[in-house]
Amino acid sequence: MVGKINELLEELRAFTATNLDEVEQFRIKHLSKKGTIAALFGDFKNVPNEEKKAVGQLLNQLKTTALDKVNELKDSFTNSDFDKSGLDLSLPADSVKLGSRHPLSLVKNEIIEIFARLGFTISEGPEIEDDWHNFSALNFPEEHPARDMQDTFFIEKNPDILLRTHTSSVQAHDMAEMELPIRCLTPGRVFRNEAISARAHCIFHQIECLYIDENVSFADLKQTLSYFAKEFFGEKTEIRLRPSYFPFTEPSAEVDVTCSLCGGDGCNVCKGTGWLEILGCGMVDPNVLDLNGIDSKKYTGFALGMGIERITMLKYGIKDLRLFFENDIRFLEQFTAAGF
C-alpha cells in the first residue's frame, strides 16, 4: 500500500500538461469518485491498525498534492497570455511620481497665507486691461512722465488696450466695485517690454495689498509691513523705510528688511549693506480714491506691492531669474514645502 502511494505521488509530482483539457483528464483520473486516490482511500480499511496513522497521513498528502497540481496548472493556463507577453503581474507596481510645486507658487501661497491672517482676501482681474484701469484710475494722467516708468505692451492704441504692467489695475476694479472697507490681495502675472536678463523678464508676477477704511494710518502700514517681514523672513527681521515715489501713493516708501543670510552684518547677497529691498508701499493718494468714487475726506488707505520673483530669489538665494521660466526639472525638484 505504501509503495503504491509513493509511486502515485511521484507520478502526480512529475505531471505536466500542455492545455486545460489535459488538466481536466488528470483531475478525473485521480480526484474523481472513481479515481485512483478514492480507490486507495477505499483500500484504507484493510490497512493494519498499527500502520493506519502513517498511511492515513501519506494518503492525505497524496490528495493535497493532486489538488495543488490541478490548481497550479489551471492558473498557468488562465494566465498564459501574460506569460507569452513576458509580463509579470506579481511584480509591485511602479509608483506614480508626483511633481513639486513651482517655487513661485510656493512663495505666492506663503505670502497669501500671511496676509489672510490679517483679514485680506484674494482678488483677481484681467491680464488684458484698458488704459483707465492700468493708468488713469491710478493717477497716471495722459502724457504724465510716470507712464514711462513701465514699458508697456500695447494691443491697440486709441483707445488703449494693453497687457497690464502691474496688478494695481485689479485694485482699480476693486475700489470701483467693492463695498468698503476693502482689504484685498491681488496676486497675478504682469507684462513689461523689458529685455530678458538674469534680473529682468518681460513676464513676471506681483502681489499687491490694499486696505481702505476710515482712519487707516501710516502706523497701520508700518505694523503690517513689520508683521509680514517677521512672518516671512524670520522673527528677528527688522524693517527700514526709505522715501520713494509712486504715482498712486503719497507718501511713498521703499521697504528694506535686514538680510536674513548674514543677519545684518553684510554679505554678498545684500552687497555688504546688511539690508535687502523687498517692496514698495505708501498711503493711497487721495486723488486715486476720488478718481474711483471713494470719498477721500472720509476714507484713507495704504497699498503695498512686491515682485514674487524677487522675493523668491531672496528667500532661496537664486541668482538668475530666467530659471523660473525654463522648467528644468532638476531646478524645480529642489523646492518642497509642507502644507502647500
Q: Is 176 in the site for Zn ion (CB under 5 A)?
A: no
140-159: which residues touch Zn ion (CB under 5 A)?
A: none
Whichever of 274 and 286 has its CB closer to Zn ion, that residue is 274
Whichever of 20 and 267 has its CB closer to Zn ion, that residue is 267
Q: How far is the CB of 261 from Zn ion (least distance, A)?
A: 5
Q: How far is the CB of 269 from Zn ion (least distance, A)?
A: 5
Closest CA relative to residue 181, chosen from 215, 204, 205, 136: 215
Interface segment toward Zn ion; rule CB under 5 A; list 115-123, 173-181, 266-274, 284-292? 266-274
Q: How far is the CB of 266 from Zn ion (least distance, A)?
A: 6
Whichever of 17 and 262 has its CB closer to Zn ion, that residue is 262
Nearest-angstrom CA–CA distance, 10 and 21: 21
How many helices (H) does the chain have, and how many strands (E)? 13, 10
Q: How far is the CB of 317 from Zn ion (least distance, A)?
A: 11
Q: How far is the CB of 273 from Zn ion (least distance, A)?
A: 8
245-264: which residues touch Zn ion (CB under 5 A)?
A: 259, 261-262
Size of the site for Zn ion (CB under 5 A): 5
Nearest-angstrom CA–CA distance, 229 and 221: 12
SS3 of 173-184: the string is HHHHHCCCCEEE
Q: How far is the CB of 322 from Zn ion (least distance, A)?
A: 23
Helical H runs in the chain? 2-14, 20-31, 36-43, 49-78, 80-85, 103-116, 131-134, 168-177, 218-233, 286-291, 308-316, 323-326, 329-332
Q: What percent of the chain is helix, strand and coil (3-state, nearest 5)?
A: 45, 20, 35
Whichever of 140 and 233 has its CB closer to Zn ion, that residue is 233
Residue number of the CB atom closest to Zn ion:
259
Whichever of 131 and 256 has its CB closer to Zn ion, that residue is 256
Whichever of 55 and 262 has its CB closer to Zn ion, that residue is 262
Closest CA relative to residue 202, chosen from 325, 329, 331, 328: 325
- At residue 299's C-alpha, the angle toward residues 293 and 304, to 5°, is 90
Q: How far is the CB of 93 from Zn ion (least distance, A)?
A: 48
Q: How far is the CB of 103 from Zn ion (least distance, A)?
A: 20
Q: Which three cell numbers stand for residue 7?
A: 509511486
Give 216-225's long-range contacts (Cβ < 8 A, gap of 24+): 216/283, 216/299, 216/300, 216/301, 216/302, 217/300, 218/251, 218/283, 218/302, 220/302, 221/281, 221/282, 221/283, 221/302, 221/304, 224/118, 224/302, 224/304, 225/255, 225/279, 225/281, 225/304
Nearest-angstrom CA–CA distance, 303 and 292: 15
User: Using CB under 5 A as the criterion, what x/- string covers residues 23-42 for binding Zn ion?
Assistant: --------------------
Whichever of 265 and 290 has its CB closer to Zn ion, that residue is 265
267-296: which residues touch Zn ion (CB under 5 A)?
A: 267, 270
Whichever of 64 and 273 has its CB closer to Zn ion, that residue is 273
309 C-beta neighbours (distance < 10 Å), count: 23
Nearest-angstrom CA–CA distance, 34 and 42: 10
Q: How far is the CB of 229 from Zn ion (least distance, A)?
A: 15
What residue ranges bind Zn ion (CB under 5 A)? 259, 261-262, 267, 270
